[in-house]
């Protein structure tokens, strides 16, 4: 555990909310800002640029100019690798500053900003850096009279629009493959968590990424976000956020230049426990840990817990006993497990879902209330509902807070059908000691990632993304390069 006094450090932390365009900090063209507060205690963090179409246009032009003169795309992959590795090193060297910014900005516990968010961000950038000079293109099996090369080329200007729940990691999942492949990027962080993205852009320039290649413009979704997604000089949008806004991305593309749209959207992931799984305690510990991590503000949180009827009551008791271990606390205290929700709107949303659970007849086994209101911040107790059925609002809609619902089922077929009965398909898990059942159910679950007898494994090496309305395209792994490159065929005649 760190011995740093984070509260004291927070008091002297410098915060700069200006855009980074063409390698420089700049104010908004029209000088507008918005006031950013911390969800920890509602303290004012500072003014942040309220980017508009004019700011986005400057950033996109800078990115386009950088792409056209090939100051980045034209460098040998091994050179881009070295520079991006330096960028990753700089992220690690700024670990404490970035972790503090993330915690102040969106309320997650400092211990996790330090141990998860910063290292995962650096590893993501380093991993794509290391990959880029090891990937080969293809030659097609054509007749002797010709040679057909199939190559991947950088796409151009990538617009990245990301949410506030893992601000740095979500940005890195776009930046890593997009920059390694030679593109330029304009990143629009969430208005609820702009600070780390802005610092990343400064560190990138210090590492040697040429000015203009990576630009960040903060602002609201319907202003800066829409302007970026509508821009005629943006070749692709890498979006992570809600399904509601993900739909808009297709509209913007349709109304502008048919830019490619890659959406990583919401989830309502099923955690399916069968009676033949012996270690119920481990399953209960795992579901609580995964559900309450990051205050439940995770797209892949296992919020629908489906348990076979014969063990459902025992399982519910075990989970309810885990919940108090995640008592909300001061995010700046290094021992806190569960921090603040991102803002008052999110607090109201989560409390209204808890209300809906009561109204529809589910029973609260743990939590269910707002906490730490005296701090001025936004906290909710980890909450476990039992007696949920899959038709209830709390089982159908993404809550994005520390609230799980336990649903009973009888047969394997019913468990699978309930798990798949969702508009989402991001992740799912199956818990069984029967190897045939584990494989059978894993195959039947309609989700981008299926976990068997665990929920914690995660690595940059594997794709991440959803079926159905959880999105298209995949972040992470070598597959992410497919999103930010165009496939070119070159025919060469051989006489």
Which spans of this chain sit near ligand NAD (rule: CB under 6 A)?
161-165, 170, 188, 190-191, 220-222, 225-226, 229, 240-242, 245, 248, 264-267, 299, 398, 400, 426, 464, 466, 470-471
d(CA 426, CA 471): 8
Q: How far is the CB of 325 from ligand NAD (least distance, A)?
A: 24
d(CA 77, CA 81): 6
d(CA 424, CA 471): 9
Which among 264, 297, 322, 381 is annotated as catalytic? 264
Residue 61 or 192: which CB sits closer to ligand NAD? 192
Query: Dihedral sign, CA of 42, 48, 51, 57?
Result: negative
Which among 299, 322, 398, 412 is annotated as catalytic? 299
Residue 240 or 390: which CB sits closer to ligand NAD? 240
How far is C-alpha 35 from the chain's CA centre? 24
Q: How far is the CB of 265 from ligand NAD (least distance, A)?
A: 5
Q: What is the DSSP string of 455-493?
A: S----TTS-B--EETTBSS-BSTGGGGGGGEEEEEEEEE
Residue 226 or 412: which CB sits closer to ligand NAD? 226
Query: Dihedral sign, CA of 339, 126, 241, 357?
Result: negative
In the annotation, is 299 catalytic?
yes
Q: How far is the CB of 440 from ligand NAD (least distance, A)?
A: 26
Q: How far is the CB of 59 from ligand NAD (least distance, A)?
A: 15
d(CA 484, CA 156): 8
Going from the C-alpha of 58 to that of each of 24, 51, 402, the distances in angstroms are 12, 11, 40
Contacts of 69 (CB under 8 A, 6+ apart): none
Residue 171 or 316: which CB sits closer to ligand NAD? 171
Q: How far is the CB of 420 from ligand NAD (least distance, A)?
A: 18
Residue 222 or 443: which CB sits closer to ligand NAD? 222
Q: How far is the CB of 358 from ligand NAD (least distance, A)?
A: 23
**Token pair 């959880």 is at which residue?**
470
Q: Residues 220, 226, 228, 229: what is their CA dihedral angle, to the nearest 10 degrees?
A: 140
Residue 380 or 438: which CB sits closer to ligand NAD? 380
Q: How far is the CB of 173 from ligand NAD (least distance, A)?
A: 8
β-pairing, 157-161 with 184-188?
Answer: parallel
Q: How far is the CB of 267 from ligand NAD (least distance, A)?
A: 5
Residue 182 or 296: which CB sits closer to ligand NAD? 296
Q: Among residues 294, 290, 263, 272, which one has the least CA distance to residue 470?
A: 263
Residue 343 or 381: which CB sits closer to ligand NAD? 343
Contacts of 351 (CB under 8 A, 6+ apart): 370, 380
Report which secondary-structure segment, H or E, holds 58.
helix 53-68
CB burial string 65-100: b at 16+ within 10 A, e below: ebbeeebbbebebeebbbbbbbbbebbeebbbbbbb
Eight-state DSSP code of residue 113 = I
Contacts of 64 (CB under 8 A, 6+ apart): 156, 157, 184, 233
Residue nearest to ligand NAD (CB): 221
Q: Would you please indicate which residues are annotated as catalytic (active-site) residues?
A: 264, 299
């Amino acid at each position: 555990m760190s011995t740093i006094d984070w509260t004291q450090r927070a008091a002297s932390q410098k915060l700069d909310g200006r855009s980074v365009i063409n390698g420089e900090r700049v104010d908004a063209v029209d000088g507008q800002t918005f006031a950013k507060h911390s969800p920890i205690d509602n303290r004012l963090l500072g003014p942040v640029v309220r980017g508009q179409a004019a700011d986005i246009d400057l950033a996109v032009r800078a990115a386009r100019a950088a792409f056209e003169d090939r100051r980045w795309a034209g460098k040998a992959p091994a050179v881009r690798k070295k520079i991006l590795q330096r960028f990753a090193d700089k992220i690690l060297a700024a670990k404490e500053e970035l972790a503090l910014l993330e915690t102040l900005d969106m309320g997650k516990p400092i211990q996790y900003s330090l141990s998860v968010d910063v290292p995962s961000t650096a590893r993501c950038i380093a991993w794509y850096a290391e990959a880029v000079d090891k990937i080969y293109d293809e030659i097609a099996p054509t007749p002797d009279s010709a040679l057909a090369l199939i190559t991947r080329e950088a796409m151009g200007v990538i617009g990245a629009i990301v949410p506030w729940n893992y601000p740095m990691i979500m940005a890195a999942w776009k930046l890593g493959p997009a920059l390694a492949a030679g593109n330029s990027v304009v990143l629009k962080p969430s208005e609820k968590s702009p600070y780390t993205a802005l610092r990343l852009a400064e560190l990138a320039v210090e590492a040697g990424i040429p000015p203009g290649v990576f630009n960040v413009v903060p602002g609201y979704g319907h202003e800066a976000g829409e302007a970026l997604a509508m821009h005629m000089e943006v070749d692709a949008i890498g979006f992570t956020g809600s399904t509601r806004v993900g739909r808009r991305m297709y509209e913007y593309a349709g109304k502008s230049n048919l830019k490619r749209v890659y959406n990583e959207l919401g989830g309502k992931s099923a955690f399916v426990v069968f009676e033949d799984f012996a270690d119920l305690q481990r399953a209960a510990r795992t579901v609580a840990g995964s559900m309450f991590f990051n205050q439940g503000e995770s797209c892949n949180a296992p919020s629908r817990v489906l348990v076979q009827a014969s063990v459902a009551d025992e399982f519910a008791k075990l989970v309810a006993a885990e919940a108090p271990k995640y008592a909300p606390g001061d995010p700046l205290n290094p021992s806190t497990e569960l921090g603040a929700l991102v803002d008052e709107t999110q607090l109201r949303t989560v409390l209204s879902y808890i209300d809906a659970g009561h109204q529809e007849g589910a029973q609260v086994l743990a939590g269910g209330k707002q906490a730490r209101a005296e701090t001025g911040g936004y906290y909710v107790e980890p909450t476990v509902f039992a007696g949920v059925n899959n038709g209830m609002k709390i089982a159908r809609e993404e809550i994005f807070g520390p609230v799980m619902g336990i649903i009973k089922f009888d047969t394997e077929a019913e468990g699978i059908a309930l798990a798949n009965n969702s508009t989402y398909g991001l992740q799912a898990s199956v818990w069984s000691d029967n190897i045939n059942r584990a494989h059978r159910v894993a195959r039947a679950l309609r989700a981008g990632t299926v976990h068997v007898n665990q929920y914690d494994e995660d690595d940059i090496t594997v794709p991440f993304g959803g079926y159905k309305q959880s999105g298209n395209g995949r972040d992470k792994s070598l597959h992410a390069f497919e999103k930010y490159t165009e496939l070119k065929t070159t025919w060469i005649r051989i006489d």
